[in-house]
Amino acid sequence: MAGDVERPGGGPEQQHEAKPHLPSPTIWPAGFAAGVALVLIGLVVSWPVVAVGAGVAVVFGYLWVREVTREVRGPVAEPAPPPEVHELVGPVATAEEPTYSRSRFLEGSTLGLGALIGGIVTVPVVGFAVAPAFVGQGYEDVDLGPLDNFEQGKWVVATFVSRKREGQVSTRTTFVRNNGLADEVPSFTIISNRCVHMGCPVQPLGPSQEDKKTVLDSDRGPVLLIPTQPSGFGCPCHGGAYDNEGNRTAGPPVRALDRYQYSIVNGHLVLGDPYSVGKVEGEGAEAKIEAYSIADPGQHVDGFEQYFYPYIP
């Protein structure tokens, strides 16, 4: 009888609807996140850490994508031909078009939206963190005036505008001493007044002769020179103390005071880039200076402590 003919796909096992597939737990997202975290940390610490973080992020990101797309990338099986049935059964059911389950759609949408939000948040942060390293951040040369304004063996407090485009907000102060000649070349000691503990302004420990101050005009603003007779330098904020060569003698500073490079141009004293100092042995023109790239206040530049701070290029 027609009613006794077995219909294709009519068995209870074949009619059972498959449950939605859920992705198996994996450590790839955690590894990818760890790589991104290393990249961000490396932007502060050093470039080798950035390279390691980028490598970890790429490897785990690739494995993550590979895991998520495993079923999509699998070979597509050709549909089996419909079985032959008795003509009284009726029309043969055609195979349905392949579709994605709701869980698969939600998974893809979540990953795509997360990547979009992550990019919107990360790209500006990385840009602000990395861009300054490729933008000119150098120091401008500053003309402190003729050499005649600096008497040999005497100290002068020099106040000047360090960056022309920034105006008075970039006003800086240094302590300048003319050491005389060294190998027939004028020698100067030029010490920054920035305390190497927290960056507070250091003061000369001695009288200053305000009545003998000299004001010079320059293309960036006035340069003020005030004679002083220091017996060292002190920080009023936290009690840091330094000798006349800038070496730390007491208090919390971690190194000697920073100094400035200088040059003599057309009989004028011209400041160059600042640099950090570990310590100074000797005095004046005979001083031996342990010089390092400029570092932030509170940062060691020598000894084993230097390895606990970001690399100074």
- Bigger pLDDT: 198 or 21? 198
pLDDT of amino acid 217: 83
At residue 227 the predicted structure's pLDDT band, cuts being 50, 70 and 90, is: very high
CATH fold for domain 142-308: Rieske Iron-sulfur Protein (2.102.10)
pLDDT at 183 over 80: yes
* Lookup: tokens for 117: 């939000």
Torsion of CA 201, 207, 213, 216, to 10 degrees: -30
Which of 9-18, 96-105, 118-127 has the lowest average pLDDT? Answer: 9-18
**184 versus 236: which is more confidently predicted?**
236
User: pLDDT tens for residues 107-120?
Assistant: 777 888 888 888 88
Helix 47-68 with 28-44: angle, nearest 10 deg: 160
Residue 123: its pLDDT value, please? Answer: 80
How many CB atoms within 10 Å of residue 139?
A: 15
Give burial (CB, 10 Å; 0-12/13-18/19+) of 193: buried
Answer yes or no: are the C-beta atoms of 52 and 42 closer than 8 Å. yes
Spatial CA neighbour of 224 closest among 274, 159, 167: 159
Residue 128 CA neighbour count, 13 Å, CB half: 4
The pLDDT of residue 253 is above 90? yes
Per-residue pLDDT tens digits for 259-304: 999 999 999 999 999 999 999 999 988 999 999 989 989 988 888 8
Per-residue confidence (pLDDT) for residue 193, from 0 to 100: 94
Q: Higher model confidence: residue 83 or residue 164?
A: 164
CA distance 255 to 298: 8
Structure tokens at 202: 């250091």
Q: Categorize the per-residue pLDDT at 2 as very low, low, confident or very high, splitting at 50, 70 and 90.
A: very low
Q: Where do the domains of the chain lie?
A: 2-74+82-134, 142-308
| pLDDT tens sequence across 146-179 | 999 999 999 999 999 988 877 788 889 999 999 9
pLDDT grade, residue 80 (50/70/90)?
Answer: low
Distance separating alpha carbons of residues 264 and 158, to the nearest angstrom: 16
How far is the C-alpha of 145 from the C-alpha of 168, rounded, in Å? 19
Tell whether the model's pLDDT for residue 139 goes beyond 70. yes
Amino acid letter, residue 106:
L
By CB neighbour count within 10 A (0-12 exposed, 13-18 middle, 19+ buried), where does 70 fall?
A: exposed
Angle at 219 between CA 216 and CA 223, to 5 degrees: 30
Greatest mean pLDDT range, 63-77, 80-94, 100-114, 149-163: 149-163
